[in-house]
Amino acid sequence: MKNVIEADNICKSFGKNHVLKGLSFQVPEGAIYAICGKNGIGKSVLFRILTGFILPDTGSVKIHGQQIGIDLEFPKSTGILIDRPGYMPDSSGYANLALLGQISGLADEETIRASLELVGLDPDDRKPVRTYSVGMLQRLGLAQAIMEDPQLILLDEPTSGLDYESQIEMHELFLKLRDQGKTIVFTSHSPWEVSRVSEKAFWLVNGKLQEEAPAHVNGK
């Protein structure tokens, strides 16, 4: 199967703090993969490298065969949900997505409304985003990630701030998207979530990726 993501020997340091030490991995088309690890271990740094927001010190990331930072600034046909997503606080959720859709030219009123409904938000809700709860902001971020019908969806802590039932709903949504042929990569610190949704998990431990969960997670 074709690989959607090919990461090769990614290193990233901030001063003397070596966060990522030579990570290499591939994600095949149509799969759900998880990148796991404790809080502050570097998952979000890796995520920002995959999405093109920061460049690795060494190594490369190819998405759909194009190298980020060389061939493209940001990956094409990719939806993202970043950690603590930000919006225009005085506009409604719909208005925020409409503006983003206008920029990409890939989402019209119908698809935006459908995306909001899919994540459980009311497209006609005119409340400004600044009044949204953490969970609503997270749902809005998910709607934003999927509204342009991307082939690859990269989600950083997508269920953070959601209650148990909402997490289950989101997991079902991920599986539904996977069944539509989408590739999903998400970060999480919850072994429960990882085992529930992902086909494969990479664990980030001491700046390196391993395929086996660390001892403390397995209860060893």
Partner 1 sequence: MKINEERINDHILKVELQRAFQNPRWILIVLIGVVLFVIGKTRFPQITVTGEYAINTTNRLMLAMSYSELAFIVPLLVLIPYADSLLNDIQSRAIDFLIFRSGRKDYLRSKLFAIALSGGVCLVVVLLVMVLSSSVYGINFKSGVYATGMVNETEPFGPFNWLFMTKPALYLIYLFISAFLFGITYSLFGTAMSLVFKNKFIGFSIPIFVFQIVDFIGVSMNPQPWYLIPLRGLMPFDTARQVGDHDLLLQLFQYLVVFLSSLIIIRLVMKSYGKK
Judged by DSSP in three states, 95 sits in helix
CA 35-10-191 angle, to 5 degrees, is 10
**Torsion of Cα atoms, 162 then 210 then 153 then 39, to 10°:** 30
Size of the site for partner 1 (CB under 8 A): 25
Binding mask 36-65 for partner 1 (x = CB under 8 A): ---------------xxxx-----------
From residue 136 to residue 155, what is the string marking binding to partner 1 with x (rule CB under 8 A)?
Answer: --------x-----------
Contact call for residues 209 and 50 (beta carbons, < 8 A):
no
**Is 179 a binder of partner 1 (CB under 8 A)?**
no
Nearest-Å Rg of the Cα atoms of the chain is 17
If one asks whether residue 126 binds partner 1 (CB under 8 A), the answer comes out as no
Q: Does 85 bind partner 1 (CB under 8 A)?
A: yes
88 lies in the site for partner 1, by CB under 8 A? yes
Euclidean distance between CA atoms 54 and 166, whole angstroms:
31
What distance in Å separates the CA atoms of residue 104 and residue 86, rounded to the nearest whole number?
17
* Interface pick for partner 1 out of 9, 67, 77, 104 (rule CB under 8 A): 104
Q: Binding to partner 1 by residue 105, rule CB under 8 A? A: yes
Length of the chain, please?
220
The reply on whether position 80 binds partner 1 by CB under 8 A is yes
Residue ranges in contact with partner 1 by CB under 8 A:
51-54, 71-74, 76, 80, 82, 84-89, 96, 99-100, 102-105, 144
